[in-house]
Structures are given as C-alpha cells and as structure tokens.
Structure 1
Amino acid sequence: MIRALCVAVLVAACSISAPASALEASPSATTDGGCTTSTPPPPQSAPPTSVNTLRQAYFCVLDNYYSGPVMDSKELLKSAFAAYTQNLMRRGADRAGLRLPALTGNRDTDWAAFAKVLGADDPAALRAAITGMVAGLHDNHARAVRPAPSQEGGPTGTGIVGISARQGQRLDPAARPPLFITGVLPGSPAAKADIRPGDIIVKANGVPAFIGNTVNQSIVEAFATNPVKLTLKRPTTGRTRTVELKEGLITPQRPAVTSKKLADGVTYVQLPGFYEGAADQVIAKLRDKPKAVVLDLRGNGGGSPREVTRLLGAFAHGKVTSYFCPLKGECVPNRTDDSVPLLGSRLIVLTDRGCASACEDFSAAVKDNDLGTLIGTRTAGAVSGPSQAYLLDDGSAVLLPKVRHLGPAREIIDTIGVPVDHYAPMTALDLATGRDPGVAKALALL
C-alpha cells in the first residue's frame, strides 16, 4: 500500500504511522500504454525520467483511469504541458518557440505531435509534466509518486506530524482559525524545541496562517523551507515565541491500535488507519465484549476496504457498506464480513476532517445502516475510489482509481464528507490541557 501524505509538505517528516492514502493501492496488470507490474528498481539505479516515461503515464491514464476511455486527451496533454513549461520557467530554461501544438482529440496523433515539440529529454521538466497531468484529473486518489531514496542514518524531518486544518491530503478551505499543531514525534527537532500539540501557528517564515477567517494556502510553501521560522502561541499561557526549526533525525512510529477503559463497560479504541490486520487488532482489544465501544478515527487517513468490511462485521451482519461503480455497468456492493462474530456492543465513532478515504467508507456505513453514533466533525470528503498503482520505467508510479465510491445509500461522499450526529471539535486549548470534547460527549450519551 502507498502510505498517506502527512498534510502535504506542511509535515516535512511524515511518520510512517500515517495510514494508506487510498482505499487500496496495489500493482496492476500491464497495459498497452506500457505500465508494468514488475518490481521497480531502487531509486539509486532507476533510469531518469524520459519522454517515453511521460508517454507511459499518458496512455496509462487513458487506459486505466475511471473516465479514461471517454476522456478528452487534449485536456490531459494541456495539463502536462502547462506543468512542463512552468518547470522550465522556474529554472530559467524556457525555450523560444515552445508551444502546445494543435491537438485533434485523437489520442495517438495528439501524442505524436506533443512529443515532437518536447525535444531532448529533460528529466526534471518531464517529471513535473507527469505530476501535473495526474493532478489535472482533480481526483484525490490519483497521484504521481516517486520512491524516496534511502537516507543514511535514518529519516529526517521536523517531527511535526499533524495540524488542525488537515482535510485528507490538503488544507481545509473551510477550516476556522486558529491553525494549531496536533501531533509531534517524541525526540524529534520539534519536541526538542518544546513544540507541543495545541501550540498555535501564527506565522511560518512571516506568512500568516489565516487571512481573515480563511486559511492561507501559501503557508504550505513556507513550511517547505529548511529551516523554517515558526511564530507560535501557547494557548495555556498566551505566550508568543519564534522558533527556527531545522530538520533532523526522527524515529518514525509504526501504526498501532491502542485502547483504554473509559468507564464500566465502555472501551475506548484508537485506530490510526485501516492498514493490513487493523480490524483484527481492534477486535482483539474488544474480546471482553464491552457494552459500548468509542472508536476514535480522528486523523485516520484510510487504508484497505477489506479492513473496513471486516471491522464492520463485528457490529452488524448482512449490511451493504458501500458501492464501487464503474464508468459503465452496474455498481458492485461491498458487504459486511459476516464471518466475524458479532460483539453486541453499542458503537460510537469519533471523526474529524482528517478522517479520509476508507475512514469515510467506514463512517458512512455506520451512519447509513444505523450501526452507531458519529461525534466530532464532518469527514474529509476524500473518497473518490480505490486506487491501483501502475509502475513506470523510471521507477515511479501513477495511482489511478478504476471505479467510483458511493455510500450505502448510493450517496456521493467524495468532496462532501460524512456529517456527524453531534458536533464536538477539538480546540487548541483542549489539546494543550488534555481535554477531549469528543470523548466527553460520548460518555454523556452513554
């Protein structure tokens, strides 16, 4: 599986505790466009990105993406060419006479005309073209990814692994101020600088986190610098300070299910992602069959749909959990795994805007089938469909959904999210003082 991004470049060192970003990303069969399922070479030995790599990506999208068969190839090449020229301009390498050729809509002749104007291989610009082409699909489960080279001495980063404005893989345009840190890795540069969950990010390199009541998307680029100068405010004291934060060695944390007793007959379980084996780990924590389960899915970026149906099978049998719909033909229902013994426990699910993909699949199944109560905030709305990984000849891959996801009531959740039954957002002060309004509301209901 392809692991999730940790709020784009806002988190310079993403913890591997982040779950899979797609409902499922797996190798796919070879296509006529040249995509392959062979094991990619290590980054050190992979050949550079070439015009042929871009050709593979182009035909991969047309052959394998959900709407590829009916897609306007002109728009696909337009997105690629725009990113290609922008990369050249940023490097001061733009070429006189470099123009997008006249395109007809015929995918083969358009590619031939397009490739002719590219000239000699320029790996950086071609890599940008692939990224731009896939980004032009405007699909939260379609991405171009490249394996990161191994780092001598271990992974590096700042250690900030969560912020409040996270919405799946991006910043939430509906986020309300303030912007605050929600996760810091122990022993990381951020932890050593006494940066804590709940600390409010006022500015990054002088760029304000909010302009009025609108999150400033430009802060992403500010965070990408190393070092980054953060202006932080501690909610418990009101003190504001400036910290120059440099990347350093970090210790990634593997995903793990944790649990604790909240009250007599009530068990709290935190599930960070629907990774392989996650459902059975949760069920193992509930072997005593408590009267009620508070399942915390806040910040859960998704994972495998098989884990979703298996975990739902512990709370209900014979239910449709979602639908996967091809471009043409009948939608295929997904159902609870009825081989899992029922727990007989009341279910309360905690969600937030970081709950994306398979997490939303689970949340919608709970809500639509009346399996429990949702508390927190609306989910991310990042559940277009499960992705498959198609490998290219430079060792990179494109992730493309072949179907569209619908909820159990055949409703569209992508871009919208799943609404909660009880609104209980986490605030900066809550994090700083250890309060949890979601858990408090759950206990009040129970």
Structure 2
Amino acid sequence: MIRTLCAAVLVTACSVSAAAPAFAADPSPRPKPSSSPAAPDGGCAPVTAPPPESAPPTSVNTLRQAYFCVLDNYYGAPVLDSRELLKNALAAYTQDLMRRGADRPGLQLPALTGDRDTDWAAFAKVLGTGDPAALRAAITGMVAGLHDNHARWERPSPPPEGGPVGTGIAGASAVRGRELDPAARPPLFITRVLPGSPAAKAGVRPGDIVLKANGMPPFVGGRANQSFIEALASGTVRVTLKRPTTGRIRTIDLKEGPITRQPPAVTSKTLPGDVAYVQLPGFHEGAADQVIAKLGGEPKAVILDLRGNGGGSPREVTRLLGAFAHGKVTSYFCPPKGECVPNRTDDSVPLLGLRLVVLTDRGCASACEDFSAAVRGNGLGTLVGTRTAGAVSGPAAAFLLDDGSVLLLPKVRHLGPDREIIDTIGVPVDHHAPLTALDLATGRDPGVSKALSLL
C-alpha cells in the first residue's frame, strides 16, 4: 500500500509474512519446469529465511523469474494466457519510461505465440538490458493484471531509523485492504487514531468525516476515488474534517512523525447478562488460544468482534472454530488440478458450549472471512454488522526473486464450507448493523446493541 498507510493503517497487510534467503540469478536458458517450486529451474524459490542485506538490482532476469513463478505456482495458471502476463508487463514498463521522459523508440510487444518459453525469449530480446525502475513497474503491473487480492509483489525494506513514522490515522471507514472499497458510500470517516501520533495531537478523533485530502475528495460522483488514498497517505497531508457531533469543519496540516505500534492483542470485557465481548484484531499465531483463555470465566454467551480483522493463519481459524463445534468442514482449498481438500474444525479443542454472535464489517478479510463463512455455513452462530470484504482468494505462499524481492501467490483457491465462492463477494450477515461516523463520535455501537438483543 502507500507509505504512510503502510506505517499506520493495516500494517499487517503491508508486510511480508515471511523472510527469505538469497537466490542466485540464473542467466542460462530456462529448462522445462519441475514439479517442485523449490527446484532451481522453477524460476523462484520459497521464502524460508531472512532476505540478504544487499541484493543485485532488479534485472530482466528478475522479471523472467516472476513470469515463470506465476505460471508455475499460481492456482489460476492453468487458465492463464501467458501473452496477457507479458502484455501487462510491457504496458507498465513503457508507462514508467514515459513518466520519466525515457521512452525508447521502437519499443513494442513482439508477436507472441502462446508458448510461454518461446514468447519469453522474444520478449526478453525486445527489452535488452532493461531499465531497473521500469522493470520493477513491469513486475508490479504483471501481478496486478492477475486481479487477485492475495497476489502481490513486495520489496522488503529495513525499518526506518528511530522507529516507525506516520500521521497516526490508523483506520478509515472505506479503506478495504490496499484500496478504497468500491462498494463504499459517503461519508468516509476516521475509525482509529494512534495515541500520541501527529493526528492525535492535532485533535483528529474517530468519527471525524474526511471531506478532502490535499484538495482531493474521497468520492467523485458517489463512487470511491482511489487516488484519494495516495493523497491521504502522503507524508504531509492537508485534510479537511467535519466533526459529526457539531458540524464544525476545519482544515489541518498533518506531517508524519514518530508513531507507536502495538502488537495485535485480544481484548475482552463483560457485558450485561454475563455476555463476554471479545475483540480479535487478527488471526495471528496463538490468537485462538488467547480468545479461548478470555472465555475461561464461563460466560453465558460470547460476542466475537472481528470488525477490521485483516486475516492471518488458516490454522488459527480451524482451532478457534473447534471451540464451538467438532466434526465440521470449515472451508475447502482447491488446487489447480485434482480434488478440493476440506479443512475441518480442530477437534482437539474442548467445546465451550457458548452461544456465539460474530460482528463483521468490510474490514473483515481473508482468514476472517474464512471464519465468518464457517460460522454461518455450519449454523454455529449469528453474524451481525455488514458484509465482509470479499478478499479471500486463497492463502498466499511467498517466493524469493534474485533482487531480494518477494512474490506472494495463492497456490490454492478458497471455497466456503458449502463450496461457495466468497472471494470478491464476501460473507453476508444475518442482521445489518453498520457503524456510522456519529456512532463512533458518540461512543455508540449498533453492532453490540443488536448482538445483545439477540442473546
């Protein structure tokens, strides 16, 4: 995502989930692919250890590795047209050159046949030695052309000296993963501000409606303006805010400064009627056991708040579901060829025997949607809030390229417990209870209120 939002908003979505070892460049002609992605002829290697402190610049060979890595490992590769990958790569490559006034005369896509090896040879000949910056754009464009929310290319960078920086705006209502939610409606409002950050010191509060960022509105003609994210995420941003409780409008200048990141933590409290309210920000390692530990006081029911939960480990999903049911299929992982593999509840977890209400929103993505679909599909509880993000194409595996960058690709496709497609659609709720700007500004929570009425 954009720099400041990676530092302060949806941090987990912007980080590489695993580190990687060095991978030697292979300038020789590429032999036929191996069945093992770890093989030297596979074009890329699985990430297994920290990346090298220094790596060679992005080269034509790096783009070659990315191209064949997609074709060898992506679950959608059997129906991919390799010519489209190269077309998208060259489109991004030439656009980057033009932005820098460095376009090359005669640079065009060669005649392609559909044979991936023959086409790559022709494509590489056109590129010549290549331009490193344009090659990075080409890899980005090629991966973006997959239109897959779990496929991306990242260049790991060391943490900034002196710690992380950002404006401190750590959440916004229409932000879904790395972009504005195309289904979002006005207004866009702040949902979280980091304590002690520049935004907090400037008096920005949850519920504040963002009218403009650097003069750019979040919606144009009622549709989400994707360029707004870049404006909001810039290091210095002028934002125009409206306080929903008073209607006051003010414009402030925010400049990034030191921020404090808190590791994801499970929090809980007891609500009236001996109902446990547990907030789970992500399915990080150990998250399931942390939630279960919070329920050790034997409450009568539990409200599990997954709003803003960006996902995490599928293993944590099946473990937490095991506390509410045994012997259930939770989802399916489907390889490019062969039968789909069912995922099942972890029946080693003792059953809690509690009534369950799950709170969801458009920020509930990936593993969060996996959990929500399993709850709904198996009748384990009730979903309250809004439809989930629809960003659950499949769990991504990380592959290392020779410039130290990492390619993230889903190797299997995710389906819900009834073999339904959730990706791009989301999981519907049983009871609609959206959180508004005024709710946040006044401390109301219609989701929790509805959950309590159901329990």
Q: Which bin holds the TM-score, normalised by the shorter protein?
A: over 0.9
Distance, in Å, in 1 between the alignment partners of 2:181 and 2:4 is 13
Query: Is 1:39 aligned to 2:49, yes or no?
Result: yes
Identify which of structures 1 and 2 has the higher relative contact order when contacts are C-alpha pairs closer than 8 Å and 6+ apart: 1
2:411 to 399, 402, 405: 402
1:14 to 8, 27, 38: 8
DSSP-derived class of the 1:295 partner: strand
Which runs of 5 or more residues in structure 1 are unaligned? none
Give the direction of change, closer, same or farther, for the CA distance of 1:316–1:256 in structure 2 (3 Å limit): same
Query: Is 1:267 aligned to 2:261, yes or no?
Result: no
Distance, in Å, in 1 between the alignment partners of 2:376 and 2:338 is 27
DSSP-derived class of the 1:340 partner: coil
Aligned to 2:319: 310
Deviations 1:297-343 (A, max 9, x none): 00000000000000000000000000011122111000000000000
Give 1:421 deviation, angstroms. 0.5
Which runs of 5 or more residues in structure 2 are unaligned? 21-36
Query: Is 1:288 aligned to 2:297, yes or no?
Result: yes
Alpha carbons 2:18, 2:49 under 8 Å: kept:
no
Distance, in Å, in 2 between the alignment partners of 1:19 and 1:116 is 36
Aligned to 1:232: 241
Q: Mapping of 1:363-442 within 5 angstroms?
A: 363-442=372-451
Aligned to 1:331: 340
Residue identity (%): 77
Query: Is 1:360 aligned to 2:354, yes or no?
Result: no
Aligned to 1:153: 162
Alpha carbons 2:286, 2:316 under 8 Å: kept:
yes
When the two chains are superposed, the root-mean-square deviation of aligned CA atoms in Å is: 1.9
Deviations 1:403-429 (A, max 9, x none): 111100111000000000000000001
The letter for the 2-side match of 1:338 is D
Alpha carbons 2:19, 2:49 under 8 Å: kept:
no
DSSP-derived class of the 2:253 partner: strand
Alpha carbons 2:191, 2:440 under 8 Å: kept:
yes
Give 1:220 deviation, angstroms. 1.9
Give the direction of change, closer, same or farther, for the CA distance of 1:435–1:344 in structure 2 (3 Å limit): same
Aligned to 2:91: 82
> In terms of mean alpha carbon deviation, does 333-342 or 65-74 score higher?
65-74
Give 1:135 deviation, angstroms. 0.7
Distance, in Å, in 1 between the alignment partners of 2:10 and 2:432 is 30
Taking structure 2 as the reference length, what is the TM-score of the superposition? Answer: 0.92
Taking structure 1 as the reference length, what is the TM-score of the superposition? Answer: 0.94
Distance, in Å, in 2 between the alignment partners of 1:264 and 1:224 is 42
2:82 to 73, 79, 97: 73
1:248 to 245, 257, 275: 257
Distance, in Å, in 2 between the alignment partners of 1:15 and 1:217 is 16
Deviations 1:276-298 (A, max 9, x none): 10000000101122110000000
Distance, in Å, in 2 between the alignment partners of 1:374 and 1:206 is 38
Give the direction of change, closer, same or farther, for the CA distance of 1:48–1:20 in structure 2 (3 Å limit): closer
Give 1:158 deviation, angstroms. 0.9
Distance, in Å, in 1 between the alignment partners of 2:233 and 2:354 is 45
